[in-house]
Amino acid sequence: MIALEHLHVVNVIHQEGSFRKASERLFKARSAVSYSVKQVEEYYQIEIFNRETYRPELTRNGKILLQKIQHLLNEANEFDMFAKQMSSEVETELRLSFSAIFPMEKVTQLLSELKQSFPSTIIHLNIETASGERMLLDDVVDIGIYSVLERSQQVKYRCIEQCELPVFISNTFPLADQPVITLSDLLAYPQVVVKSSYKSGPDSGIMKDGLQWYVSDHNTKKALIHSGLGWGRLALHEAEQESQSNSLIKLDNLPVMTVPVYVAKLNSKALGPVGMMVWNFFESHSG
């Protein structure tokens, strides 16, 4: 059987689009990258890449083989992680991040069970906004729970929630007595937005043609909306009490933004017993 390392090189060449970029990513000499491809082609007696084009393009057989290579590499990576996790000792520390739109009662429930099962493990907890993916990729946290629209190949995800974010205004908002409020009507007033808590984060649900007021946390955002100074999107659980008392009004005629929330970890990082408890917690506590 051909070495997995050679198959990995073939996959990286396809991902990077050139032998040169693949050699830079793998920290290998160009000749070593070409050698790996040659080993695979000679072993299986097929041509993987068409060398006549400017960039290496997969042949018909190469495309078929690549699908199998990617499946095999994923299986090998999962086995490696599983074996490492079996032999892992209890972590002395675990770094977690939670999106600010995620229900806090689920966070506290998890932390309560972690405390009971692993009382000596130190937990570092970050509440973030629009930065969960970046923190995970930068190895600032071991596990992130956040919403993301575009998935990274470096990350393993498990969807645990669908968070709904309707538009809310206060009952003291200038347009509160108007029978129907459109997005065009709201453009004349500040949209309250929480800025990313770590480096730069993607902007979503922002009216680019309007005025924005940026704040650093969700409590401030909610307070400004509640005061009637502006409008914005809030998670349903954030505004539940105020919505019931009618001090915050959900604009039902406007589209609700629904974002998936994932528990996520790097493919390359093995989790110990504490991390695996976090990873599996939401599977048994969903719904």
**For the ranges 21-35, 44-58, 90-104, which has the lowest average pLDDT?**
44-58
Amino acid at 13: I
pLDDT, average across residues 62-86: 82
Torsion-angle region of 220 (φ positive above 0: left; ψ -120 to 50: alpha; else: beta): alpha
137 and 279 within one domain: yes
245 and 179 within one domain: yes
Among 86, 118, 137, residue at a domain's last position: 86
265 and 142 within one domain: yes
Other C-beta atoms closer than 10 Å to the C-beta of 160 total 18
Q: How confident is the model at residue 130 (pLDDT cuts 50, 70, 90)?
A: confident
Among 34, 67, 86, residue at a domain's last position: 86
Is the distance from CB of 154 to CB of 137 less than 8 angstroms? yes
How far from the centroid of its chain's Cα atoms is residue 65's Cα? 30
DSSP string, 239-266: THHHHHTTSEEE-TTSPPEEEEEEEEEE
Tokens of 266: 């790097």
Among 86, 106, 121, residue at a domain's last position: 86
Give pLDDT, residue 88. Answer: 63
pLDDT single digits (tens) 227-240? 999 999 999 988 99
124 and 79 within one domain: no
Give pLDDT, residue 246. Answer: 92
What total of structural domains would you count in the chain? 3
Give pLDDT, residue 260. Answer: 92
Q: Is the pLDDT of residue 202 over 70?
A: no
Note the helical H segments in the chain.
Answer: 4-16, 19-26, 30-44, 60-86, 104-117, 132-137, 183-186, 218-226, 240-244, 273-284
- What's the domain range around 52? 4-86
